[in-house]
Chain A
Amino acid sequence: MNINILHNHFHFTCHGVAYWEDQKALLIADVHLGKISHFRKYGSAVPQSAIQKNFDRLDEAVKEFQPQKIIFLGDLFHSALNMEWNLFESWVKFQSAEIILITGNHDIISPLRFEKIGVEVVPELHMGRFRLTHHPEKKEGAFNICGHIHPGYRLSGMGKQHLKLKCFFQSQNQLILPAFGEFTGVYVMKPNENEKVYVCTNTNVIQVA
């Protein structure tokens, strides 16, 4: 699905990635890498085959858009360093694009480690009239793109039918991206009239509000 914001073109994918055509940048929020390993390390046997899925999806998005920049909007890693770091490190090696991480509340791994493997770490990013952050922010004169919330939307219809899906959530000066990571939950948003909601299905992105 294609969206225009301040004359810039964005493409939303069903996995919850936004591709910013004008900047050739891939925007990805809340991957929570290492969550499964973290659980396993503490004795909870979550299937480890699920770990690979995040990387497969990242590869899929990179292949589709061939971006020059890959920007993670925070919470790239779920917790402290674990073996999934090695998987990430080898994934980074194969990327030709520049990789930037905007730190989130879960990112407790030292920035030095990221820089060592060629990932730039910043608290926030200004690109023209856009401000990219992890936590949602409201600042005059800037359009904020962020993550953190894990937005979701609840649809209801006749016959007591309900659907809960992850979504992109757009308000007047803000775009909140859905969480990219497998094994993460959603927070249900209640939009008002000026706000827009784009839900992700398995194959599509559909505007519902």
Chain B
Amino acid sequence: MENKLSTKKQLLTVAEDWFLEQEWKPFTFQKQTWKAFLSGKNGLLNAPTGSGKTYALWVPIALEILKEKQKAKQKKKGLRALWITPLRALSVEISQAATRFCQDIDPTITVGIRTGDTSQKERAAQKRNMPDLLITTPESLQLLLSSKKYDHLFHNLNAVVIDEWHELLGTKRGVQMELALSRLKTVSKNLKIWGISATIGNLNQAKDVLLGPAGKSNENSVLVKAKLKKKIQVESIIPEKMEKFPWRGHLGLHLLDEVVPIIKKSKTTLIFTNTRSQCELWFQKLMEKYPEFAGEVAMHHGSINKETRLWVEQAIRNENLKAVVCTSSLDLGVDFAPVETIIQIGGPKGVARFLQRAGRSGHQPGKVSVIHFLPTHAMELIEAAALQKAAKNTVVEDRVPYLQSFDVLVQYLTTLAVSEGFYPQEIYPEIKSTFCFQALTQKQWKWCLSFITTGGESLKTYDEYKKVEIEEDGKFKVNHRGIAMRHRLQIGTIVSDAVLSVKYIKGGYIGTIEEFFVSKLKPGDVFTFAGRNLELVRIKGMQVQVRKSKQKTAKVPSWMGGRMTFSAQMSELLREELYDAAESVHQTNAKKSKELKALEPILKRQLKESIIPKQHQFLIETFKTREGYHAVFYPFEGRFVHEALGSLLAYRISLLSPISFSIAFNDYGFELLSDQEIDMQQVLDNNLFSADFLMDDLYKSLNATEMARRKFRDIAVIAGLVFTGYPNKLVKSKHLQSSSQLLFDVFRDYEPHNLLFQQAFTETFEHQLEEGRLRLALERINHQNIIWKNCDKPTPFSFPIITDRLREKLSSEKLEDRIQRMLKQLEK
């Protein structure tokens, strides 16, 4: 006993000595983690980016490898440690940090990377001789599980670290990770599991999801918190003259000139945009207007090819760049010491995200992180004020973990069937032990097994469904090579939407682009991509062939997934800010923030046409334009809640009399637009904001709108119902292409009890509509005075909503009647 203790002490001395040599002093959280790990504990480390979290875990892992190496003469085979990172861009950084330590303590400890970017040759070499530490992504780990004899590979695995666990937690990749861990716990004999997470609201739950809600792993675990106070300073970018401020828009290009002095003043600036198209536009305009930046300003987003991305990342480290226009692709991990300034363009939609971005600057401990916020339209000025408060009070959101994701489960089961095959009675308890599937019933489990073997129903004589076979001894196994190959290609596609690779006709890969955008282009059209103007020549298989174009104006690709929603916390801050604004507008000598002052002309205009709602008021505006009859509601609850409220209300109104709606929503409110006048008095008289029959009505309104249909798209891809192929690989699968839209209809009409189809609805409820928030919102509205303003024309508040093009539809009219009326309108 004493001997063991002294060994642990000795090991820690090795680490402390090394820190001394680097002239560093270990943080308390680092020492805590080392000790906990070396005592055999699992855990979750809560530490921000750039705080030395890599050394908190890599040090004890390496020390344990060192200890064993000295004890055993012969080197144990296979992997000793896995480091999972959600973003492959981070792997280089982690590898460098890890190598730095082990080169000094024992140069025979090896570090390797395996991601989508790793070459076939390197992969094969790794298979023959695995490094001690492998840095990889959740998808690449799944691929390892789909390879033969994976159990040997992981047999001597000592530690798994899941970096940036908060990023995975609220996603299906997180579920993928939970399942992989449930398997590793069985095949690896002495496994310790650790997660690293930035600060989120539900840290304890994050640990439960990581280690499983009950069981030994969780019992033997700790939560280590790094108490590093980081000072964050938020500065709004507001022009001197306020006429410049548009009522709507999300690009913010009108403030381009205001950004330039900030770039010029600091060493390196990261400019965060919310979408890839916005990123492209900002880069293009910046280059056009300030050609002197050529070579000093770069662009970074997920669709740009790997070489360029790596080059940009390296150039930031080498201090070769003045600025980088980027998206969330640079949100995580990578430690860019030279970055001094952050600019956020447009609302970041979440406090945690905003704070994390702010943290990208002033990486050295103790430095103040400065983030400049650039509001893209007037209403975002309120957001700016709210964000300042958030930074002061460190309000952060929860990340809601997925439950019962059957799509991921059937994908995982197929993965196991592809590699070694599995026996259900062995795997079932593992799956039940995960957070996601703790409530899995025998019936649902049986359904999943039958789904992968017979396609979900009893077999009919003429059916040839083929995927997983049940062998004589009861083993579930994929024996068909084509099915195995397609499944492996599909594993990485949890991030949905078909992507095509963009290439020059003469060769040369530029990046990937969503099919959704390309489908709107004709040959000869010019579009902006990766900072260049390209002419579409043709689409061939999964390739978009282009040539350079000299044309100045071009279409900018819109990438999906750019629409994020306010978190509950952010919405609350926003409402408070708005109520303040409502109060302050009448006061002349009050101390007003820069933001509210800038907002004043618009608030005055709003007051002229309508009101600014106060805490006890719920505002509804109605007006008529060329487009039809508008009714705009302002709950200020965030986009997702508004989407739900909008459909709910539209559904309830449509029960009063046949009517068709187009529904738009943003973070402030939602709009019901119709070609008929909406009888608002009836809406109020019938108490349509009631929380009674909420779920029932919502379910029905979901059927009538597209929300569940959109969720189903990802589910169909993950569960292998739709084969999307893979970027850069030409797959001859034309006869297997179909849209998930068609599939959705077929399931709705013929197999509505299919668990995957049902999942589309439960996911909409749990992750999109956030039932809990919706109930609270309705409760709040019911306690407020409803103020209905019949306006002459659109108000400043309504403007960003009514001009939004992404819309839901809902109709209770007969199809024939709608056609007839549309025809009549045409004749007018």
Question: Is A49 in contact with B751, judged by CB distance below 8 angstroms?
Answer: yes
Question: Is A183 in contact with B738, judged by CB distance below 8 angstroms?
Answer: yes
Does B204 count as interface, using CB distance less than 8 angstroms? Answer: no
Question: Is B807 in contact with A160, judged by CB distance below 8 angstroms?
Answer: yes
Q: Among residues 39 to 64 in chain A, which have CB atoms less than 8 Å away from a CB atom of chain B?
A: 39-50, 53
Question: Is B721 in contact with A185, judged by CB distance below 8 angstroms?
Answer: no
Does A158 count as interface, using CB distance less than 8 angstroms? Answer: yes
The chain A residue sitting closest to B811, CB to CB, is: A161
Q: How far is the CB of A31 from chain B (nearest CB, A)?
A: 15
Q: Among residues 3 to 56 in chain A, which have CB atoms less than 8 Å away from a CB atom of chain B?
A: 35-50, 53
Q: How far is the CB of A46 from chain B (nearest CB, A)?
A: 6
Q: Which of B487, B628, B749, B816 contacts A160 (CB 8 A)?
A: B628
Does B24 count as interface, using CB distance less than 8 angstroms? Answer: no
Q: How far is the CB of B99 from chain A (nearest CB, A)?
A: 42
Does A171 count as interface, using CB distance less than 8 angstroms? Answer: no
Does A182 count as interface, using CB distance less than 8 angstroms? Answer: yes
Does B590 count as interface, using CB distance less than 8 angstroms? Answer: no
Contact A48 to B815, CB < 8 A, known contacts A87-B462, A184-B742: no
The chain B residue sitting closest to A52, CB to CB, is: B750
Q: How far is the CB of B340 from chain A (nearest CB, A)?
A: 46
Bound complex: CA A158 to CA B676 (Å): 9
Bound complex: CA A83 to CA B463 (Å): 7
Question: Is A46 in contact with B736, judged by CB distance below 8 angstroms?
Answer: no
Question: Is A79 in contact with B735, judged by CB distance below 8 angstroms?
Answer: yes
Question: Is A84 in contact with B466, judged by CB distance below 8 angstroms?
Answer: no
Residues of B contacting A172 with CB < 8 Å?
none
Does B662 count as interface, using CB distance less than 8 angstroms? Answer: yes
Question: Is A158 in contact with B675, judged by CB distance below 8 angstroms?
Answer: yes
Does B754 count as interface, using CB distance less than 8 angstroms? Answer: yes
Does A194 count as interface, using CB distance less than 8 angstroms? Answer: no
Does B467 count as interface, using CB distance less than 8 angstroms? Answer: yes
Residues of B contacting A39 with CB < 8 Å?
736, 738
Q: How far is the CB of A164 from chain B (nearest CB, A)?
A: 11
The chain A residue sitting closest to B468, CB to CB, is: A43
Encode B459-481 as 1/0 by CB contact (under 8 A) with A. 01111111100000000000000
Binding stretch for chain B, among A110-118, A122-130, A137-145, A197-205: A197-205
Q: Which of A44, A78, A86 contacts B723 (CB 8 A)?
A: A44
Question: Is B746 in contact with A47, judged by CB distance below 8 angstroms?
Answer: yes
Interface residues on B, range: 35 or more
Encode B803-828 as 1/0 by CB contact (under 8 A) with A. 00001010000011011111101100
Q: Which of B661, B723, B751, B818 contacts A157 (CB 8 A)?
A: B818
Binding stretch for chain A, among B11-19, B433-441, B449-457, B529-537: B449-457
Does B27 count as interface, using CB distance less than 8 angstroms? Answer: no
Does A155 count as interface, using CB distance less than 8 angstroms? Answer: yes
Contact A157 to B465, CB < 8 A, known contacts A38-B735, A42-B736, A201-B816: no
Residues of A contacting B751 with CB < 8 Å?
47, 49
Question: Is B746 in contact with A182, judged by CB distance below 8 angstroms?
Answer: yes
Residues of A contacting B821 with CB < 8 Å?
157
Majority secondary structure of chain B interface residues (helix, strand, loop or mixed)? mixed
Interface residues on A, range: 35 or more
Bound complex: CA A38 to CA B747 (Å): 17
Contact A159 to B483, CB < 8 A, known contacts A42-B466, A182-B746: no
Q: How far is the CB of A192 from chain B (nearest CB, A)?
A: 15
Question: Is A208 in contact with B662, judged by CB distance below 8 angstroms?
Answer: no
Bound complex: CA A184 to CA B743 (Å): 10
Residues of B contacting A201 with CB < 8 Å?
815-816, 819
Q: Which of A87, A161, A203 contacts B818 (CB 8 A)?
A: A161
Residues of A contacting B629 with CB < 8 Å?
159
Question: Is B720 in contact with A43, judged by CB distance below 8 angstroms?
Answer: yes
Q: Among residues 154 to 169 in chain A, which have CB atoms less than 8 Å away from a CB atom of chain B?
A: 155-163
Does B696 count as interface, using CB distance less than 8 angstroms? Answer: no
Does B739 count as interface, using CB distance less than 8 angstroms? Answer: yes
Bound complex: CA A158 to CA B627 (Å): 6
Residues of A contacting B464 with CB < 8 Å?
37, 40-41, 82-83
Question: Is B735 in contact with A43, judged by CB distance below 8 angstroms?
Answer: no
Bound complex: CA A186 to CA B352 (Å): 43
The chain B residue sitting closest to A83, CB to CB, is: B462
Contact A160 to B736, CB < 8 A, known contacts A50-B749, A83-B463, A208-B819: no
Residues of A contacting B816 with CB < 8 Å?
201, 203-204, 206
Bound complex: CA A82 to CA B461 (Å): 12
The chain A residue sitting closest to B461, CB to CB, is: A83
Residues of A contacting B739 with CB < 8 Å?
185
Question: Is A208 in contact with B823, judged by CB distance below 8 angstroms?
Answer: yes
Q: How far is the CB of A201 from chain B (nearest CB, A)?
A: 5
Bound complex: CA A46 to CA B602 (Å): 53
The chain A residue sitting closest to B673, CB to CB, is: A159
Residues of B contacting A203 with CB < 8 Å?
816
Residues of B contacting A84 with CB < 8 Å?
462
Does B353 count as interface, using CB distance less than 8 angstroms? Answer: no
Residues of A contacting B662 with CB < 8 Å?
159-161
Question: Is A40 in contact with B819, judged by CB distance below 8 angstroms?
Answer: no
Question: Is B809 in contact with A50, judged by CB distance below 8 angstroms?
Answer: no
Q: How far is the CB of A69 from chain B (nearest CB, A)?
A: 28
Q: Which of B465, B482, B750, B818 contacts A40 (CB 8 A)?
A: B465
Bound complex: CA A183 to CA B751 (Å): 14
Q: How far is the CB of A42 from chain B (nearest CB, A)?
A: 6
Q: Among residues 66 to 116 in chain A, which have CB atoms less than 8 Å away from a CB atom of chain B?
A: 78-79, 82-84, 86-87, 106
Question: Is A185 in contact with B742, judged by CB distance below 8 angstroms?
Answer: yes
Q: How far is the CB of A29 from chain B (nearest CB, A)?
A: 18
Q: How far is the CB of B459 from chain A (nearest CB, A)?
A: 9
Question: Is B466 in contact with A43, judged by CB distance below 8 angstroms?
Answer: yes
Bound complex: CA A203 to CA B661 (Å): 23
Q: Which of A87, A159, A183, A199 contacts B675 (CB 8 A)?
A: A159
Does B722 count as interface, using CB distance less than 8 angstroms? Answer: yes
Bound complex: CA A46 to CA B457 (Å): 10
Does B674 count as interface, using CB distance less than 8 angstroms? Answer: yes
Question: Is A159 in contact with B736, judged by CB distance below 8 angstroms?
Answer: no
The chain A residue sitting closest to B451, CB to CB, is: A45
Q: Which of B462, B746, B818 contacts A183 (CB 8 A)?
A: B746
Contact A43 to B486, CB < 8 A, known contacts A83-B462, A158-B675, A161-B818: yes
Bound complex: CA A159 to CA B457 (Å): 43
Residues of B contacting A79 with CB < 8 Å?
735
Does B660 count as interface, using CB distance less than 8 angstroms? Answer: yes
Q: How far is the CB of B362 from chain A (nearest CB, A)?
A: 46
Question: Is B673 in contact with A206, judged by CB distance below 8 angstroms?
Answer: no
Bound complex: CA A115 to CA B706 (Å): 45
Residues of A contacting B822 with CB < 8 Å?
155-157, 161, 163
Residues of A contacting B451 with CB < 8 Å?
45
Most buried by B among A35, A159, A162, A202: A159
Bound complex: CA A53 to CA B465 (Å): 19
The chain A residue sitting closest to B457, CB to CB, is: A48
The chain B residue sitting closest to A158, CB to CB, is: B675
Most buried by B among A42, A162, A199, A202: A42
Contact A163 to B818, CB < 8 A, known contacts A41-B464, A44-B723, A208-B823: yes
Most buried by A among B462, B483, B675: B462
**Chain B interface (Cβ < 8 Å from any Cβ of A):** 451, 455-457, 460-467, 482-483, 486-487, 627-629, 660-662, 673-676, 720-723, 735-736, 738-739, 741-743, 746-747, 749-751, 754, 807, 809, 815-816, 818-823, 825-826
Shortest 8 CB-CB contacts between residues of A and residues of B: A159-B628, A157-B822, A45-B455, A83-B462, A158-B675, A159-B675, A47-B751, A160-B662
Using A44-B723, A158-B825, A185-B741 as known contacts, list a sample of 11 further A-B pairs with CB atoms less than 8 Å apart, ordered by residue number in A: A40-B466, A45-B456, A46-B455, A47-B754, A83-B462, A83-B464, A157-B821, A160-B807, A161-B660, A185-B738, A185-B739
**Chain A interface (Cβ < 8 Å from any Cβ of B):** 35-50, 53, 78-79, 82-84, 86-87, 106, 155-163, 182-185, 199, 201-204, 206, 208
Q: List 17 A-B contacts (CB under 8 A).
A: A37-B462, A37-B463, A37-B464, A40-B466, A42-B466, A44-B722, A44-B723, A50-B749, A87-B462, A155-B819, A157-B822, A159-B627, A159-B661, A160-B628, A161-B662, A163-B819, A183-B742
